[in-house]
């Protein structure tokens, strides 16, 4: 027991302030930074979240396979998740299934969440319970064809919390629960092509910001970010300013990533550096 307690303390010390004192604080950190939950689940102005409406339902995804609006995830019992149990919320995040047995649209990146530790999952749920209930009914989803839920490679099961003391493994964990590769990897004949095009970019995202095209974030020096410094990558992630000083568009959650700890940003960047170059 002494050895385990010491190891746990050392792990927490290494990952820094991101591991807060209470589950609610940890959940708030994850939800409001790397997971960018409010980026989809909050109504936009544009460009920012409508005051007082955080997490009450947000972006509409009207794409060929589906027409869905990000639902209300506040504790409102009628239009949100206030009537859901903790296990209901965890089941949706880990399996993509609602309490009524129906799947959510694959635009909800549940295939990246199997990796979440039990402690972090409990923290996320604890934080969601503290949100202000907002009554807001979003349109019912329309599914035009059935799409299979994809699990991100390596995220099939919860990571060992001890591994989070390793910078690269923590970077992989954070980039995974932040579903970075969902947007920065193109679809090929339906599914996202993680096997051959990881980080290659090229997907289009229409929204209040206009139309964005996700960029190549592999280590390619000509097409990717191989020539970027860590400081330049960090500036792009947290402020939306690229290497050449150009202002980047949404839906990249710059305003959320700006509140990540330096240690966590450094870990994400270190892992992104390992992406093989794709031209």
List, run by run, the mean pLDDT of 10-residue segments along the chain (279 residues): 34 44 95 95 70 84 82 96 98 95 90 97 98 93 80 96 98 98 91 95 87 96 97 97 94 94 98 96
pLDDT value, residue 189: 82
pLDDT value, residue 19: 52
pLDDT value, residue 7: 35
CA distance 212 to 240: 13
CA distance 201 to 242: 15
CA distance 217 to 249: 16
pLDDT value, residue 62: 80
CA angle 204, 42, 88 (to 5 degrees): 100
DSSP 272: H
Handedness of CA 55, 60, 61, 66 (dihedral sign): positive
pLDDT value, residue 1: 30
C-beta pairs of 52-60 under 8 Å, 24+ apart in sequence: 52/134, 53/134, 53/136, 54/131, 54/132, 54/134, 55/128, 55/131, 55/134, 56/80, 56/134, 56/135, 56/136, 57/136, 57/137, 57/138, 59/207, 59/251, 60/139
CA distance 58 to 250: 14
């Amino acid at each position: 027991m002494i050895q385990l307690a010491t190891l746990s303390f050392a792990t927490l010390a290494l990952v820094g302030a991101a591991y807060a004192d209470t589950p609610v604080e940890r959940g708030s950190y994850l939800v409001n930074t790397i997971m960018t939950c409010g980026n989809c689940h909050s109504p936009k102005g544009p460009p920012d979240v409508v005051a007082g409406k955080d997490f009450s339902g947000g972006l509409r995804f009207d794409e060929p396979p589906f027409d869905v609006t990000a639902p209300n995830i506040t504790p409102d019992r009628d239009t949100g998740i206030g009537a859901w149990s903790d296990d209901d919320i965890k089941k949706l995040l880990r399996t993509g299934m609602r309490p009524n047995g129906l799947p959510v649209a694959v635009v909800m990146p549940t295939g990246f969440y199997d990796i979440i530790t039990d402690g972090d999952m409990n923290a996320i749920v604890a934080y969601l319970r503290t949100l202000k209930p907002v009554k807001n009914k979003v349109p019912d989803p329309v599914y035009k064809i059935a799409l299979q839920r994809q699990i991100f490679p390596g995220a099939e099961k919860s990571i060992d919390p001890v591994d989070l003391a390793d910078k690269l493994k923590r970077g992989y964990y954070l980039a995974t629960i932040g579903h970075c590769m969902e947007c920065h990897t193109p679809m090929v004949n339906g599914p996202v092509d993680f096997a051959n095009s990881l980080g290659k970019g090229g997907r289009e995202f229409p929204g209040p910001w206009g139309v964005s095209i996700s960029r190549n974030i592999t280590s390619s020096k000509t097409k990717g970010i191989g020539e970027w410094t860590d400081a330049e990558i960090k500036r792009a992630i947290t402020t939306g300013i690229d290497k050449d000083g150009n202002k980047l568009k949404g839906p990249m959650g710059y305003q959320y990533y700006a509140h990540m700890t330096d240690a966590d940003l450094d870990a994400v960047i270190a892992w992104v550096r390992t992406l093989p170059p794709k031209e």
